Amino acid sequence: MDITITTKQLEILNLLYRFRFLNRSQLQTLLKHKDTKRINTWLKDLTDKKIIGRHYSTKIKENNKPAIYYLLAKSKPFLLNQKAVDNKLLLKRIYREKTRSQRLIDHCILIADYYLNLTNIIKTETLHFFTKTDLSTHYYLPYNRPDAYIAREGKEIKRYLLEIIDEGTPRFMIRKLIERYIEYFDANTWQNKTGHPFPKMLILCPNTLIKDFLHKHISQVMEEEAQNDIEWYLSTKDKIEWVDALIDISDD
């Protein structure tokens, strides 16, 4: 017997494809649906049919957190014909989503939170937000792809690349991240391919210690290379008001 799903459930699958991991609250907001009961019904049906999986803790102090959802293998047939699924090869990852690390899950949840905060703030302009998944076929971008490409379209278009640094990331990897973007800028790949100025770089740090380290490192590198054309903006993940950087951008 063929498995059937509703149009809204297919929308849920597309959102999970783009963001990989989303909690129930985020899904409800992204779907712009006020009926929590209806959302839970759709999610339960998809979970019962093993089209999506869910992480939910019954531990005290954790059982009040919304469940987190992700794609399972049975979602693949529903996604194959979707225009939003540009890179069919990415669907192979759904076979391993169930065992992904908590670090990756938290990373994906934070990206979705950041996007949702942007939608609350940017009202008079058109917001374009492309996740790492959305950018997978943009081969002129750095190999690992940024966590997001953001554009605000008003009287002019302002562009940003977002990178989120996870807690516990070794400093040599953080330095390497900065080095890769400087090399990418120097190669003029973005500028030649798009015809647009290089986007502002938004770096979200796990804490103030890493932010201060990164600020010092970037200042040193830019001074040594006499290269001051990349605009870097740093903040910490516990200051979600950093989204204001896209309105009145300044290093807090």
Q: Write the DSSP assignment of 172-241 as a string of letters.
A: HHHHHHHHHHHHHHHTTHHHHHH-SPPPEEEEEESSHHHHHHHHHHHHHHHHHTT---S-EEEEETT-GG
38-45: Cβ within 8 A, 24+ apart:
42/6, 42/8, 42/9, 42/12, 43/12, 43/67, 43/69, 45/5, 45/9
In the chain, what is the straight-line distance between the N-terminal and C-terminal CA atoms, in Å?
A: 57
Given the DSSP bridges, would you call strands 200-205 and 157-164 parallel, antiparallel or unpaired? parallel
Domain residue ranges of the chain, discontinuous segments joined by +? 7-100, 107-246
- What pLDDT does residue 56 have? 86
Residue-wise pLDDT for 216-241, tens only, equals: 999 888 877 655 688 898 888 776 54
Nearest to 28 by CA among 19, 18, 15: 15
Structure tokens at 164: 């989120």
Which residues does residue 180 pair with via DSSP β-bridges, in sequence order?
none
Residue 226 confidence (pLDDT): 59
Residue pointed to by tokens 């750095």: 142
> Is-contact 52 67, C-beta < 8 A?
no
Tell me which CATH code domain 7-100 carries: 1.10.10.10
Q: Is 158 helix (H, G, I), strand (E, B) or coil?
A: strand
pLDDT tens track of the chain, all 252 residues? Answer: 488 999 999 999 999 999 999 999 999 999 998 888 999 999 999 999 999 999 987 665 656 788 999 999 999 999 987 776 776 778 889 999 999 999 999 999 999 999 998 888 888 889 999 999 999 999 999 989 999 999 999 888 999 999 999 999 999 999 999 999 999 999 999 999 999 999 999 999 999 999 999 999 998 888 776 556 888 988 887 765 444 444 444 333
Left if phi > 0, otherwise alpha if psi is -120 to 50, otherwise beta: which for 35?
A: beta
DSSP state of 11: H
pLDDT at 52: 97
The pLDDT of residue 80 is 87
Q: Which class is domain 107-246?
A: alpha beta
Q: How far apart are CA 147 and CA 134, in angstroms?
A: 10
User: Does the pTM of the predicted model rise above 0.85?
Assistant: yes
Rg (CA), the chain: 19
The whole-angstrom separation of Cα 158 and Cα 178 is 21
For residue 126, report the phi and psi dihedrals to the nearest 5 degrees.
Answer: -85, 125
E strands present in the chain: 22-23, 52-55, 68-71, 126-131, 148-153, 157-164, 200-205, 232-236
Q: pLDDT by residue (tens digit) across 134-158?
A: 999 999 999 899 999 999 998 889 9
Q: What is the pLDDT of residue 249?
A: 40
| Among the listed residues 81, 1, 33, 170, the one whose alpha carbon sits nearest the alpha carbon of residue 12 | 33
